[in-house]
C-alpha cells in the first residue's frame, strides 16, 4: 500500500516529476463537514484547481492530469451533475483566457461520443485555442474511465490490424500504448489522491503501472501549493526501479 504524507511534511524540492496526475477527491465531504451543500464543495474545488495549476507550472511540472469527471459520475443525482456541468462551463469561459495567456496547453481524454453538443464544443474550444502553447500541459480526464480507455484502444488497434496498418505479430505493449487517448503524453511519474482514500478508482490504470502513489488526508478544496510541494518531496524520496534492481533517478 502506498505511503500517506501530510501536506506540511517537507520543504519544497527543486527537482520535480515531469508528469503529476491528481484524483481530486473530497469535495462533498468537505462541504458536509461545514454544513454546506455539496455544490459549494465543488465550487471550492474549482478554486483549488486554479491554485494547483498555477503552482504546478511555477514548480516546473510539465504535465498535470486531473480526474475531473469519471464515466461513473453520471450515476450521481441529476442536480449535482447539472451543477458540475455548470462549473465546467464557467471554468472554460472564465479561466481559459488566463490559461492561454500563461502558455498552458489543454488536452482532453475520455469518451466524447455521447457528450451533449454544448459540452463537446467547450472541450474542443479549450483544446483548439491552446494547441500551440508550449508551457504546462493540463490534461483533463472528462467522462473518463481507464477500463473504457483500454477497450477503446483495443478497438482502435483491432481496426488498424484489419486495415493492414499494424501486423498481428507486431502487437506488443509498446505498440498498444500508442492507441490510448493521449499516446504522446508520458506516463505519470506521480499520482496524488486527496481525501485519504487509497485507490485509483478506474484512473489511468494502464499508464500508472510504475507511477508513485501518494495519498493525502486533505480534502480537495483545501489542497494548495504546500500540499503539492510536500507530495513532490515525498516522491523525490522514493527509489524508482521500474522492475529492476538499480534505482533510476531524475524525471
Mind listing the domains of the chain with CATH numbers?
19-236 (3.40.1180.10)
Contact of 154 with 178, CB cutoff 8 Å: no
pLDDT (tens, 9 = 90+) of the chain, 251 residues, equals 444 444 433 444 457 899 999 999 999 999 999 999 998 998 999 999 999 999 999 999 999 999 988 888 888 888 888 877 877 787 777 889 999 999 999 999 999 988 889 889 989 999 999 999 999 999 999 999 999 999 999 999 999 999 999 888 878 888 899 999 999 999 999 999 999 999 999 999 999 999 999 999 999 999 999 999 999 999 999 877 666 655 665 55
| CA gap 114, 246 in Å, rounded | 46
Q: Which of 3, 25, 114, 118 is labelled catalytic? A: 25
Q: Please give the model's pTM, rounded to 2 decimal places.
A: 0.87
Backbone angles phi, psi at 36, to 5 degrees: -110, 160
| CA gap 56, 199 in Å, rounded | 23
Q: Which of 3, 27, 73, 94 is labelled catalytic? A: 73
195 is written with which cell numbers?
481525501
| CA gap 237, 187 in Å, rounded | 19
Query: In the β-sheet with 105-109, what is the strand arrangement from edge to edge?
Result: 105-109, 137-144, 63-70, 19-23, 190-193, 212-215
143 carries an active-site annotation = no
25 carries an active-site annotation = yes
Q: What is the DSSP string of 156-180?
A: HHHHHHHTTSS-GGG--HHHHHTTS
Of 178, 99, 179, whose CA–CA distance to 140 is shortest? 99
| CA gap 208, 248 in Å, rounded | 17
Element (H, E) at 138: strand 137-144
Amino acid at each position: 500500500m502506498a505511503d500517506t504524507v501530510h501536506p506540511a511534511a517537507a520543504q519544497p524540492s527543486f527537482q520535480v516529476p515531469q508528469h503529476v496526475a491528481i484524483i481530486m477527491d473530497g469535495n462533498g465531504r468537505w462541504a458536509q463537514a461545514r454544513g454546506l451543500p455539496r455544490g459549494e464543495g465543488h465550487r471550492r474545488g474549482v478554486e483549488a484547481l486554479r491554485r494547483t495549476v498555477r503552482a504546478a507550472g511555477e514548480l516546473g511540472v510539465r504535465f498535470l492530469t486531473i480526474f475531473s469527471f469519471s464515466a461513473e459520475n453520471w450515476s450521481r443525482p441529476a442536480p449535482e451533475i447539472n451543477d458540475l456541468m455548470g462549473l465546467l462551463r464557467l471554468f472554460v469561459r472564465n479561466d481559459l483566457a488566463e490559461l492561454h495567456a500563461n502558455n498552458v496547453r489543454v488536452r482532453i481524454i475520455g469518451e466524447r461520443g455521447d457528450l451533449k453538443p454544448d459540452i463537446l464544443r467547450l472541450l474542443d474550444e479549450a483544446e483548439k485555442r491552446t494547441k500551440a502553447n508550449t508551457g504546462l500541459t493540463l490534461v483533463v480526464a472528462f467522462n473518463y474511465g481507464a477500463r473504457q480507455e483500454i477497450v477503446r484502444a483495443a478497438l482502435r488497434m483491432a481496426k488498424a490490424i484489419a486495415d493492414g496498418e499494424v501486423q498481428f505479430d507486431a502487437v506488443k505493449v509498446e505498440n498498444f500504448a500508442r492507441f490510448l487517448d493521449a499516446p504522446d503524453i508520458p506516463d505519470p511519474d506521480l499520482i496524488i489522491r486527496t481525501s485519504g482514500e487509497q485507490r485509483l478508482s478506474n484512473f489511468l490504470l494502464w499508464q500508472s503501472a510504475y507511477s508513485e502513489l501518494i495519498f493525502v488526508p486533505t480534502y480537495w478544496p483545501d489542497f494548495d501549493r504546500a500540499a503539492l510541494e510536500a507530495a513532490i518531496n515525498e516522491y523525490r524520496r522514493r527509489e524508482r526501479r521500474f522492475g529492476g534492481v538499480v534505482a533510476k533517478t531524475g524525471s
